[in-house]
Amino acid sequence: MDIFQFKALLEKDKKFPIYVFYGDEDYFINEACLAVKTHSLKDTDPSLSLVEFKGDETSGGVIFDELRTIPFFASKNKLIVVEEADVFVEKNRETLEKYLQTPSNHASLVLVCSKWDKRTKLATLVDKVGISIECKRLKDHLLPGWIPTRAKHYKKNISSAAAQKLVEDVGNNLAIIDKHLEKLSIYLSEKTTIDERDVDALVGVDRSRTVFELTDAVAQRNAAGALKILSQMLTHGEDSVRIISLLAWQIKRLWRAKQILKQGGDDHKVTSELQVVPFFAKRFFEQVKLYTEEDLMKKHALLLETDVKSKTSSFGTQLLLELLVYKLCV
């Protein structure tokens, strides 16, 4: 079952004692959680019927007690949402299995996990009495097909060329694409179809996204992907000196994040001090884990070297940048 089939199922007024949403696409996970909340709490006061926990910060006992507690209004259902639930699941696997044999009839449990093994006894029980949905990141070649479907949510059509340009300009983050579609739909008002000119006028290149994608590709040692993103940035008129500066800025941020964590700080301190955009937080910390401090120091030195060469060498700046990105990836 995918997210679209799940939403259709909820529209038939179906309710389940447990929902598990897992995978690497935060946008689909958020959509699934929102759909459950909207459906489950439509006739209730969320302040009385919705309880949310962080699975890595809350004991299993507290969560199970909440599931067993009758809601303030006995006729209404409670919704218990456990985000970052992987640790909670591993620590309470047997208790969850026992609970699902006779689940509460006045509460539903939502587990948001990064991973979910379908071969386990727990997964079998979940599928027997509830719903589990894998929320996978869309492949890049599928994005131009997804965008028209999402545009219809805003009662708009979008040309295939405009959909392709939107991907080229802002990247593959579905949440960001959705925000731009919402903005386009509001601006265009009575116009029913979004075309390339509309995207050009209202979207432009998302520079924070492109530099983030570039450092992401570098962290993954994906030279081909990094060079493609660099080419897109240059095609859209991004200045070569600015690209070097943006890369250096991101490398410094990653290095500072490693320092904060090494000194005992937590993710919240990192995001607060470095002002990490919420959209990018998860992937930012994935990058932090992929680099060592030594890696970051070497890459920063390479960036400084390229900056000097771009101002003194007879080599073309595009060639210097391509060599830089390739060296950063190896």
Per-residue pLDDT tens over the stretch 299-313 = 888 888 888 887 776
* Highest mean pLDDT (candidates 147-156, 216-225, 249-258, 314-323): 147-156
As a whole number, mean pLDDT of residues 180-204 equals 87
- Note the pLDDT of residue 204: 65
State whether 159 and 217 are in the same domain.
Answer: no
What are the tens digits of pLDDT across the range 242-298? Answer: 788 878 888 888 999 999 999 999 988 998 888 876 667 887 888 888 888 888 888
152 and 181 share a domain?
yes
Q: Which of 13-17, 72-76, 105-109, 303-307 reaches the highest mean pLDDT?
A: 105-109
- Model confidence band, residue 314 (pLDDT cutoffs 50, 70, 90): low
Predicted pLDDT of residue 71 = 72
Whole domain around residue 242: which residue ranges? 207-329
- Identify whether residues 248 and 268 lie together within a single domain: yes
How much is the pLDDT for 76? 67
pLDDT at 162 over 60: yes
Supply the pLDDT for residue 286.
87
Domain end call among 202, 224, 251 = 202
Domain count, the chain: 3
Same domain, 174 and 89: no
Do 17 and 127 fall within a single domain? yes
Closest CA to 243 of 223, 271, 221, 213: 213
pLDDT of residue 222: 87
CATH of the domain at 180: 1.10.8.60
Cβ atoms 6, 32 nearer than 8 A: yes
**249 and 197 co-located in one domain:** no
Q: What is the pLDDT of residue 209?
A: 60
Note whether 168 and 242 are same-domain residues. no
Contacts of 181 (CB under 8 A, 6+ apart): 147, 150, 151, 153, 154, 156, 158, 166, 194
Domain closes at, from 134, 167, 187: 134
Same domain, 221 and 249: yes
Rounded Cα gap, residues 207 and 5, in angstroms: 35
Chain centroid to CA 303: how far? Answer: 28
> What sections of the chain are H helices per DSSP?
3-11, 26-40, 46-49, 60-68, 86-91, 93-101, 121-129, 143-153, 160-170, 174-188, 196-202, 207-219, 223-235, 240-262, 267-274, 281-290, 293-312, 317-329
pLDDT of residue 13: 80
Residue-wise pLDDT for 222-233, tens only, equals 888 888 888 877
Going by DSSP bridges, is the β-strand pair 78-83/157-158 parallel, antiparallel, or unpaired?
A: unpaired
CATH number for the domain including 298? 1.20.272.10
**Are 156 and 77 contained in the same domain?**
no
301 and 218 in one domain? yes
Residue with tokens 């997210």: 3
Say yes or no: 214 and 312 in one domain: yes
Q: Among 134, 163, 178, which residue terminates a domain?
A: 134
Q: Is the pLDDT of residue 74 over 60?
A: no
Residue with tokens 């983030």: 212
Same domain, 232 and 292: yes
Question: What mean pLDDT is predicted for residues 180-191?
Answer: 88
For the domain that residue 112 is a member of, what is the CATH number?
3.40.50.300
For 102-121, the pLDDT digits (tens) are 999 889 999 999 999 999 99
What is the residue-averaged pLDDT of the chain?
86
